[in-house]
A and B are shown apart, each in its own frame.
Chain A
Amino acid sequence: MTQPEEDSPGLKAIKALESYRKKDPSKIVVRFKAVGNAPIMKQNFYKINSVNRFQAVIQFLRKELGWHAGEPLFTYINLAFSPTPDDTVSNLYKMFATDGHLIVNYSTTAAWG
Chain B
Amino acid sequence: MAAYATTRHAQGNKERGTDYHTTLFRRLTWEGTVPLEVRVDAKELPANSNRGLECYYVQAPRVSYLPLLLPEVHKYLMDVVFDEAAATSLKEDDWWFETEEGTLLKWHWPIGLIYDNHTISASVRAAASQRALSQALPLRLILHLVSPPTEKLMLAPSPEACKQAFMGQLKEADFIRWGNTKRITGLRKAEQDGIWESIKEHNFEEYWRIASKVTPAASSAPPIGSPGNNSMHVRPPSIDAGGVPERDNAYAVRCIPARIYLPDGPFIQELVPPLLEDGSPHTLHHFLSVHLPLLFPSRPSPPTSSRVNQPTPELAYALVQGVLTPPEAEMAWLGACLAGADGWLNVCIGLNRG
Contacts and interface: CB of A to CB of B under 8 A. Distances in A.
Interface stretch (B87-95, B134-142, B239-247, B346-354): B346-354
Contacts of B56: none
A90 to B, nearest CB: 9
Contacts of B316: 13, 16-17
A11 to B, nearest CB: 7
Interface residues of B, number: 45
A113 B171 contact: yes
Contacts of B176: 95
A86 B269 contact: no
Contacts of A87: 267, 269
Nearest to A92: B269
Contact of A14 (B128, B165, B167): B128
Given A10-B351, A10-B352, A13-B315, A4 B130 contact: yes
B103 interface: no
Interface string A84-98: 111110011011100
Nearest to A91: B269
B266 A16 contact: no
Contacts of B165: 82, 84
B295 A13 contact: yes
10 contacts: A4-B130, A9-B313, A9-B315, A13-B351, A17-B263, A17-B295, A77-B172, A82-B165, A95-B269, A96-B175
Interface stretch (B77-85, B177-185, B199-207): B177-185
Contacts of B128: 4, 10-11, 14
A22 B250 CA distance: 34
Given A10-B127, A10-B128, A55-B154, A112 B181 contact: yes
A16 to B, nearest CB: 4
Given A21-B262, A83-B172, 16 more contacts: A8-B130, A9-B313, A9-B354, A10-B351, A13-B315, A13-B352, A17-B263, A17-B295, A20-B268, A80-B180, A81-B172, A81-B174, A81-B181, A86-B154, A95-B271, A96-B175
B276 interface: no
B329 interface: no
Contacts of B127: 10-11, 13-14
A113 B167 contact: yes
A5 B172 CA distance: 44
CB-based closest 4 A-B pairs: A10-B354, A8-B354, A16-B294, A81-B171
A113 B185 contact: yes
Nearest to A15: B294
B155 A21 contact: no
B234 to A, nearest CB: 30
Interface in B181-240: 181, 184-185, 192
Contact of A85 (B154, B268, B271, B313): B154
A82 B108 CA distance: 13
B169 A16 contact: no
A8 B174 CA distance: 43
A4 B353 CA distance: 11
A108 B59 CA distance: 40
Contact of A17 (B185, B268, B269, B351): B351
Given A81-B172, A95-B176, A112 B185 contact: yes
Contacts of B151: 55
B28 interface: no
Contacts of B184: 113
A2 to B, nearest CB: 8
A20 B316 CA distance: 13
B168 interface: yes
A48 to B, nearest CB: 16
A67 to B, nearest CB: 16
B106 interface: yes
A92 B270 CA distance: 9
Nearest to A8: B354
A19 interface: yes
Interface in B333-354: 351-354
Nearest to A3: B130
